Amino acid sequence: MRRIDTVGNALRYFATVVVVLVAGTLILGQLGISVAPILATAGVAGIAIAFGAQSLIKDYFTGFFLLVEDQIRQGDVVEIAGKAGEVEEVTLRYVRLRDGDGFVHFVPNGEIKVVVNRTRTHAYANIDVGVPENTDFDAVFKAMRDVGAALRADPKFGPLTLGEVEVFGVDRWELWGVMLRCRMKTLPHERDNVRRELNRRLALELQSRGLKTA
């Protein structure tokens, strides 16, 4: 598997560099060549470079953990560093996303603070419906459940769902009325498809039952 290979190669490469550096230093010392000036020169240059390069070192450290902890895989839909999209490539240095406009984002791993992975095992399609306060709430709740059941029975959309509609009730008061909420468990990559189909069917159903009029 590619993820293990990437990490393994990185560790092997790092170990080689360490062994060569230490061995070289010891051999030079045995040959009577003073390594102090070389080290001092390297030290001054190293610090100057480290100031500028710390964000690159951070890229590799973060990338190492992204891979080892399996936070991001190719094909996932993620939100990192304020950018959301489908993952096209994960390396030790950056993650490449493509968003809904087809734009390609190169995100250096060190810029990633929190990884939001939208496609892990399941997701929920949440529907908020605003209605006036004198609406028959229970009738709306019933419409939500009926629409959900019809969707579950649909040969195209049913297999995309993982459960019945859950009605959450009167979620909050707004100046113009109240907000009613329900949700449905879906396959992780099908959340938006289910959500939009629920929106469409619910809007039509509320219209036909006279529960919401624009």
Site for its own copies, residues 120 to 139, rule: CB under 8 A: 120, 122-124, 126, 128-130, 132-134, 137
Direct distance between the N- and C-terminal alpha carbons of the chain, in angstroms, rounded to an integer: 54
String of contacts with its own copies for each residue 149-168, x by CB under 8 A: -------------------x
Site for its own copies, residues 19 to 38, rule: CB under 8 A: 21-22, 25-26, 29, 33-35, 37-38
d(Cα 9, Cα 39) in Å, to the nearest integer? 28
Stretch that binds its own copies, among 1-9, 142-150, 203-211 (CB under 8 A): 203-211
Nearer to its own copies, 137 or 142 (CB): 137
Site for its own copies, residues 46 to 105, rule: CB under 8 A: 46-58, 60-62, 65, 69, 71, 79, 81-83, 93-94, 100-105
Nearer to its own copies, 84 or 146 (CB): 84
Tell me the two tokens of residue 164.
Answer: 């019945």
Closest CA to 91 of 60, 54, 55: 60
Residues 6 or more apart in contact with residue 214 via CB below 8 angstroms: none
Burial group, residue 98, by CB count within 10 angstroms (0-12, 13-18, 19+): middle
